[in-house]
Amino acid sequence: MEVKVFDAKGKATSKKVTLSETIFGIEPNDHAIYLDVKQHLANRRQGTHKSKERAEISGSTRKIKKQKGTGGARAGSIKSGTRVGGGRIFGPKPRNYHFKLNVKLKRLARKSAFSYKAQNDSILILEDPKFDAAKTKEFKAMLEALNLTNEKVLLVLGEKNDNVYLSSRNLGRVKVVTADSVNTYDVLNAKKVVLAESSIEVIEKILN
């Protein structure tokens, strides 16, 4: 699959890049994508939720009213979960939501995500961006040149570049990652995936 390479001014260069069919042209596996995204979102959870049960509520332990003769249901404690101000019945407790997946399945999920984007013409190849300093203005100008101003964009770099990352940090619809840390969720969550030239080799090395 041959794709044109664009420069930072939005113009197509004379260069073309061949994307591997084993990564960008496979039949997507929806279940692998589901499991990988589920794991990604689960592993992001802090799991620090907590509510007080009746044993943890502060209050008197005296019996509220006599057992019989009131005409109402018996009641023994103001801490009961059935009463206002009482403890929560079977409330949430701190827990770890992390779970593991097979490495081959996670690779298949990323390949499937890239293949979906390739099928929808949502992948754009860009010459490696070079910023002399961290300037959001320059990054926005690049997005405008590529007609991506109002799009949700994932920019994948071949290696870490602080100037590019810092230039994009104030833009809410843009995320910059390196090729060795890109995940299925980020790929699918973006409207347009912009791959820096040098990132393609890294992606193919990891996923193949």
- The predicted-structure confidence for 50-84, as pLDDT tens digits, reads as follows 999 999 999 998 999 999 999 999 999 999 999 99
Number of domains in the chain: 2
DSSP 70: S
pLDDT band (50, 70, 90) for residue 110: very high
Q: What percent of the chain has pLDDT over 90?
A: 85
Pick from 207, 144, 198: which is nearest to 174 by CA? 144
Same domain, 60 and 91: yes
Same domain, 69 and 166: no
Cα separation, 73 vs 8, in Å, equals: 75
Are the C-beta atoms of residues 192 and 153 closer than 8 Å to each other? Answer: yes
The pTM assigned to this predicted structure is 0.83
Cα separation, 168 vs 194, in Å, equals: 13
**DSSP assignment string, 175-188:** EEEETTT--HHHHH
pLDDT at residue number 92: 95
pLDDT at residue number 14: 87
Same domain, 18 and 113: yes
Same domain, 63 and 162: no
Same domain, 59 and 72: yes
- For the cut 90, the answer to whether the pLDDT of residue 182 exceeds it is yes
Same domain, 160 and 78: no
Domain of residue 66, residue span? 48-96
Same domain, 132 and 36: yes
pLDDT at residue number 73: 93
Mean pLDDT of 134-139: 93
Q: Which residue has the tokens 């004379």?
A: 14
pLDDT band (50, 70, 90) for residue 130: confident
Q: What percent of the chain has pLDDT over 70?
A: 100
Mean pLDDT of 121-146: 92
- For the cut 90, the answer to whether the pLDDT of residue 204 exceeds it is yes
Mean pLDDT of 8-32: 92
Mean pLDDT of the chain: 93
Torsion, CA 124, CA 127, CA 133, CA 136, rounded to 10: -20
Are the C-beta atoms of residues 50 and 124 closer than 8 Å to each other? Answer: no
The CATH number of residue 27's host domain is 3.40.1370.10
User: Exposed, middle or buried by CB within 10 Å (0-12, 13-18, 19+), for 29?
Assistant: middle
| Cα angle value 4/8/145 (rounded, 5°) | 95
- For the cut 90, the answer to whether the pLDDT of residue 132 exceeds it is no
Could you say which of 37, 72, 96 is where a domain stops? Answer: 96
Cα separation, 36 vs 23, in Å, equals: 16
Same domain, 81 and 144: no
pLDDT at residue number 107: 96
Are the C-beta atoms of residues 192 and 148 closer than 8 Å to each other? Answer: yes
Could you say which of 57, 74, 96 is where a domain stops? Answer: 96
pLDDT at residue number 155: 96
- For the cut 90, the answer to whether the pLDDT of residue 8 exceeds it is no
Same domain, 68 and 28: no
DSSP 25: S
Q: What six digits make up the tokens of 35?
A: 């499991």
- For the cut 90, the answer to whether the pLDDT of residue 137 exceeds it is yes
Same domain, 109 and 87: no
- For the cut 90, the answer to whether the pLDDT of residue 150 exceeds it is no
Could you say which of 72, 96, 120 is where a domain stops? Answer: 96
- For the cut 90, the answer to whether the pLDDT of residue 180 exceeds it is yes
Same domain, 200 and 138: yes
Same domain, 19 and 59: no
User: 31 CB contacts (<8 Å, ≥6 apart)?
Assistant: none
Cα separation, 37 vs 147, in Å, equals: 28
User: 3-class DSSP state for residue 52?
Assistant: coil
pLDDT at residue number 113: 96
